[in-house]
Amino acid sequence: MSKPQITIHYADGTPSETRDMTPEEIAQIPVEEDNA
Amino acid sequence: MATKTFTSGEVLTAADTNTYLANSGLVYITGGTLSGTATQFVGCFTSTYTNYRILLEQGTLSAAGDFCFQFLKSTTAQSTNAYQYAYARLTSGGAGANTTAVAPIGRWGMGANGVTNLMTMAADVIYPQVASSAAYVTAQGTSLLGGPVYLSSDGMCVYGVNDSFDGIQFMGSGGQSITGYATIYGYRKA
Protein backbone atom coordinates (compact mmCIF):
# COMPACT_ATOMS: atom_id res chain seq x y z
CA MET A 1 0.00 0.00 0.00
CA SER A 2 1.41 3.38 -1.01
CA LYS A 3 2.17 5.92 1.68
CA PRO A 4 0.30 9.23 1.94
CA GLN A 5 2.09 12.00 0.11
CA ILE A 6 2.63 15.67 0.78
CA THR A 7 3.19 18.46 -1.75
CA ILE A 8 5.24 21.50 -0.76
CA HIS A 9 5.29 24.84 -2.59
CA TYR A 10 7.96 27.34 -1.55
CA ALA A 11 7.29 31.06 -1.79
CA ASP A 12 11.01 31.83 -2.21
CA GLY A 13 11.14 30.14 -5.60
CA THR A 14 12.57 26.81 -4.47
CA PRO A 15 11.09 24.16 -6.80
CA SER A 16 7.96 22.46 -5.49
CA GLU A 17 8.26 18.89 -4.33
CA THR A 18 5.99 15.92 -3.67
CA ARG A 19 7.22 13.16 -1.35
CA ASP A 20 6.00 10.45 0.97
CA MET A 21 4.88 11.75 4.35
CA THR A 22 7.13 11.00 7.29
CA PRO A 23 5.79 8.84 10.14
CA GLU A 24 5.45 12.01 12.22
CA GLU A 25 3.39 13.68 9.49
CA ILE A 26 1.22 10.60 9.04
CA ALA A 27 0.51 10.61 12.78
CA GLN A 28 -0.91 14.15 12.40
CA ILE A 29 -3.47 13.20 9.72
CA PRO A 30 -6.88 14.00 11.19
CA VAL A 31 -9.80 11.65 11.60
CA GLU A 32 -13.19 12.58 10.20
CA GLU A 33 -15.24 12.46 13.40
CA ASP A 34 -13.63 15.68 14.63
CA ASN A 35 -15.51 17.59 11.94
CA ALA A 36 -18.87 15.80 11.92
CA MET B 1 0.28 56.92 0.68
CA ALA B 2 1.44 55.80 -2.72
CA THR B 3 -1.14 57.32 -5.01
CA LYS B 4 -0.59 59.86 -7.77
CA THR B 5 -2.60 61.41 -10.58
CA PHE B 6 -0.57 61.72 -13.76
CA THR B 7 -1.09 64.65 -16.13
CA SER B 8 -1.12 64.69 -19.90
CA GLY B 9 2.39 64.53 -21.37
CA GLU B 10 4.07 63.72 -18.06
CA VAL B 11 7.07 61.35 -18.24
CA LEU B 12 6.34 58.02 -16.57
CA THR B 13 9.60 56.97 -14.95
CA ALA B 14 10.67 53.55 -13.77
CA ALA B 15 10.36 54.77 -10.19
CA ASP B 16 6.80 55.92 -10.82
CA THR B 17 5.95 52.58 -12.38
CA ASN B 18 7.40 50.63 -9.48
CA THR B 19 5.78 52.82 -6.86
CA TYR B 20 2.41 53.70 -8.29
CA LEU B 21 1.52 51.09 -10.89
CA ALA B 22 3.21 47.79 -10.04
CA ASN B 23 2.15 47.83 -6.40
CA SER B 24 -1.51 46.99 -6.45
CA GLY B 25 -3.68 46.54 -3.41
CA LEU B 26 -3.30 42.78 -3.47
CA VAL B 27 0.17 41.51 -4.31
CA TYR B 28 0.68 37.98 -5.57
CA ILE B 29 2.94 35.92 -3.31
CA THR B 30 2.66 32.31 -4.41
CA GLY B 31 0.28 29.70 -5.77
CA GLY B 32 0.20 26.06 -6.74
CA THR B 33 -1.76 22.89 -7.24
CA LEU B 34 -3.06 20.85 -4.35
CA SER B 35 -2.24 17.14 -4.36
CA GLY B 36 -1.56 14.25 -2.04
CA THR B 37 -2.89 14.05 1.50
CA ALA B 38 -1.60 17.52 2.34
CA THR B 39 -0.18 20.50 0.46
CA GLN B 40 1.97 23.16 2.06
CA PHE B 41 2.74 26.74 1.08
CA VAL B 42 5.98 27.46 2.89
CA GLY B 43 7.32 30.96 3.47
CA CYS B 44 4.22 32.79 2.21
CA PHE B 45 3.73 34.83 5.41
CA THR B 46 6.55 37.32 5.99
CA SER B 47 7.08 40.72 7.54
CA THR B 48 6.49 42.30 4.12
CA TYR B 49 2.74 42.05 4.70
CA THR B 50 0.57 41.89 7.79
CA ASN B 51 -2.64 40.55 6.25
CA TYR B 52 -3.31 38.08 3.45
CA ARG B 53 -5.96 36.78 1.05
CA ILE B 54 -6.08 33.07 0.16
CA LEU B 55 -8.14 31.81 -2.79
CA LEU B 56 -8.98 28.15 -3.30
CA GLU B 57 -10.26 27.06 -6.73
CA GLN B 58 -11.87 23.78 -7.77
CA GLY B 59 -11.00 22.03 -4.56
CA THR B 60 -11.92 18.37 -4.29
CA LEU B 61 -11.66 15.70 -1.63
CA SER B 62 -11.40 11.97 -2.43
CA ALA B 63 -14.18 11.31 0.12
CA ALA B 64 -16.78 13.50 1.79
CA GLY B 65 -15.52 15.88 4.44
CA ASP B 66 -14.20 19.36 5.04
CA PHE B 67 -11.18 21.17 3.70
CA CYS B 68 -8.92 21.82 6.67
CA PHE B 69 -5.97 24.08 7.30
CA GLN B 70 -3.04 24.36 9.66
CA PHE B 71 -0.48 27.11 10.07
CA LEU B 72 3.16 26.21 9.46
CA LYS B 73 6.51 26.99 11.00
CA SER B 74 8.80 26.16 8.09
CA THR B 75 7.45 22.77 6.99
CA THR B 76 6.16 21.77 10.42
CA ALA B 77 2.37 21.91 10.69
CA GLN B 78 1.10 23.37 13.95
CA SER B 79 -1.44 21.01 15.46
CA THR B 80 -1.92 22.39 18.94
CA ASN B 81 -5.50 22.75 20.13
CA ALA B 82 -5.42 26.52 19.70
CA TYR B 83 -7.61 26.67 16.59
CA GLN B 84 -11.07 27.88 17.56
CA TYR B 85 -13.42 27.89 14.60
CA ALA B 86 -17.03 27.67 13.52
CA TYR B 87 -19.01 28.12 10.35
CA ALA B 88 -22.61 28.38 9.16
CA ARG B 89 -23.88 26.59 6.07
CA LEU B 90 -26.79 27.49 3.79
CA THR B 91 -27.98 25.88 0.56
CA SER B 92 -29.05 27.77 -2.53
CA GLY B 93 -32.23 25.68 -2.63
CA GLY B 94 -33.15 26.77 0.86
CA ALA B 95 -33.60 23.17 1.85
CA GLY B 96 -31.43 23.23 4.89
CA ALA B 97 -29.03 25.09 7.04
CA ASN B 98 -26.81 24.16 9.88
CA THR B 99 -23.84 25.27 11.81
CA THR B 100 -20.65 23.59 12.80
CA ALA B 101 -19.01 24.67 15.99
CA VAL B 102 -16.03 22.61 16.96
CA ALA B 103 -14.19 22.42 20.23
CA PRO B 104 -10.67 23.75 19.77
CA ILE B 105 -8.68 21.19 17.81
CA GLY B 106 -5.45 21.05 15.91
CA ARG B 107 -6.66 22.73 12.70
CA TRP B 108 -9.48 24.80 11.21
CA GLY B 109 -11.91 23.82 8.50
CA MET B 110 -14.44 25.00 5.96
CA GLY B 111 -17.49 23.16 5.07
CA ALA B 112 -17.86 20.89 2.15
CA ASN B 113 -18.90 18.31 4.72
CA GLY B 114 -20.97 15.63 3.02
CA VAL B 115 -19.76 16.40 -0.49
CA THR B 116 -16.47 16.02 -2.30
CA ASN B 117 -16.17 18.59 -5.02
CA LEU B 118 -16.16 22.16 -6.22
CA MET B 119 -14.95 23.83 -3.09
CA THR B 120 -14.02 27.43 -3.66
CA MET B 121 -12.94 29.62 -0.83
CA ALA B 122 -11.81 33.17 -0.24
CA ALA B 123 -10.18 33.69 3.14
CA ASP B 124 -8.68 36.75 4.76
CA VAL B 125 -5.90 35.88 7.17
CA ILE B 126 -5.05 38.58 9.68
CA TYR B 127 -1.78 38.68 11.65
CA PRO B 128 -0.49 35.16 10.88
CA GLN B 129 3.11 36.33 11.14
CA VAL B 130 2.66 38.78 14.04
CA ALA B 131 4.20 37.08 17.07
CA SER B 132 2.50 39.40 19.57
CA SER B 133 -1.01 38.54 18.39
CA ALA B 134 -3.39 35.71 17.77
CA ALA B 135 -4.10 34.95 14.09
CA TYR B 136 -7.57 35.55 12.67
CA VAL B 137 -9.29 34.03 9.62
CA THR B 138 -12.56 35.07 8.00
CA ALA B 139 -13.59 32.80 5.14
CA GLN B 140 -16.40 32.20 2.68
CA GLY B 141 -16.68 28.99 0.69
CA THR B 142 -18.93 27.45 -1.96
CA SER B 143 -19.50 23.77 -2.72
CA LEU B 144 -21.66 21.84 -5.18
CA LEU B 145 -24.16 19.71 -3.32
CA GLY B 146 -25.58 18.08 -6.46
CA GLY B 147 -27.75 19.11 -9.35
CA PRO B 148 -28.02 22.89 -9.39
CA VAL B 149 -27.86 23.21 -5.61
CA TYR B 150 -24.87 24.87 -3.99
CA LEU B 151 -23.78 25.20 -0.41
CA SER B 152 -22.44 28.37 1.14
CA SER B 153 -20.10 28.20 4.11
CA ASP B 154 -19.26 31.29 6.11
CA GLY B 155 -16.83 30.82 8.89
CA MET B 156 -14.08 32.05 11.11
CA CYS B 157 -11.04 30.78 12.93
CA VAL B 158 -8.96 32.30 15.64
CA TYR B 159 -5.62 30.77 16.53
CA GLY B 160 -6.09 31.82 20.10
CA VAL B 161 -2.48 31.95 21.22
CA ASN B 162 -0.01 34.69 20.33
CA ASP B 163 2.39 33.13 17.83
CA SER B 164 4.07 33.64 14.46
CA PHE B 165 3.66 31.45 11.39
CA ASP B 166 5.25 31.56 7.95
CA GLY B 167 3.02 29.21 5.96
CA ILE B 168 -0.21 27.26 5.67
CA GLN B 169 -1.13 23.65 4.97
CA PHE B 170 -4.23 22.37 3.14
CA MET B 171 -5.67 18.90 3.83
CA GLY B 172 -8.88 16.95 4.27
CA SER B 173 -10.69 16.43 7.56
CA GLY B 174 -10.23 12.66 7.37
CA GLY B 175 -6.98 12.04 5.52
CA GLN B 176 -8.57 12.33 2.07
CA SER B 177 -6.53 13.09 -1.03
CA ILE B 178 -6.99 16.67 -2.17
CA THR B 179 -6.87 18.45 -5.53
CA GLY B 180 -7.38 22.03 -6.60
CA TYR B 181 -5.39 25.22 -6.84
CA ALA B 182 -4.59 27.85 -4.24
CA THR B 183 -3.22 31.36 -4.58
CA ILE B 184 -1.93 33.55 -1.76
CA TYR B 185 -1.80 37.34 -1.92
CA GLY B 186 -0.57 39.95 0.50
CA TYR B 187 -2.46 43.13 1.30
CA ARG B 188 -0.20 46.02 0.44
CA LYS B 189 0.37 48.15 3.54
CA ALA B 190 0.72 51.57 1.92
CATH, residue B64: 2.60.120
| Mean pLDDT calculated for residue range B78-89 | 89
The answer to whether the CB atoms of B42 and A25 lie below 8 A apart is no
Q: Render pLDDT for B138-182 as a digit per residue (tens, 0 to 9).
A: 999 998 887 788 888 899 999 999 999 999 999 998 899 999 999
Alpha carbon separation from B177 to A17, A28, B29, B63 (Å, rounded) = 16, 15, 25, 8
Judge whether residue A34 has pLDDT over 50. no
Looking at CA atoms only, how far is residue A7 from chain B in angstroms? Answer: 5
Q: Does A35 touch chain B (CB under 8 A)?
A: yes
**What mean pLDDT do residues A5-34 have?**
90
Q: Which residues of B touch A12 (CB under 8 A)?
A: 43
Kindly report the average pLDDT of chain B as a whole number.
88
Q: Is the pLDDT of residue A35 over 60?
A: no
Render the burial of B50-80: b for 16+ CB within 10 Å, e for the rest. Answer: bbbbbebeebbbeebbbbbbbbbeebbbbbe
Is any Cβ of chain A less than 8 angstroms from the Cβ of B174? yes
Task: Look up the ipTM and state it.
Answer: 0.89
Within a domain: B35: yes
Determine, yes or no, domain membership for B10.
no
Cα B167 to Cα B35: distance, rounded to the nearest angstrom: 17
Percent of chain B topping pLDDT 90: 55
Q: Which chain A residue shows the shortest CA-CA distance from B184?
A: A11
Q: What is the pLDDT of residue B2?
A: 60
Q: Is residue B36 part of a domain?
A: yes
Domain count, chain B: 1
* Neighboring chain B residues of A10 at a CB cutoff of 8 Å: 30, 42-43
Task: Chain A: give the shortest CA distance to residue B146, in Å.
Answer: 20
Residue B138: inside a domain: yes
Q: How far apart are the first and last CA of chain B?
A: 6
Amino acid at B153: S
Q: Range of B173's domain?
A: 26-187
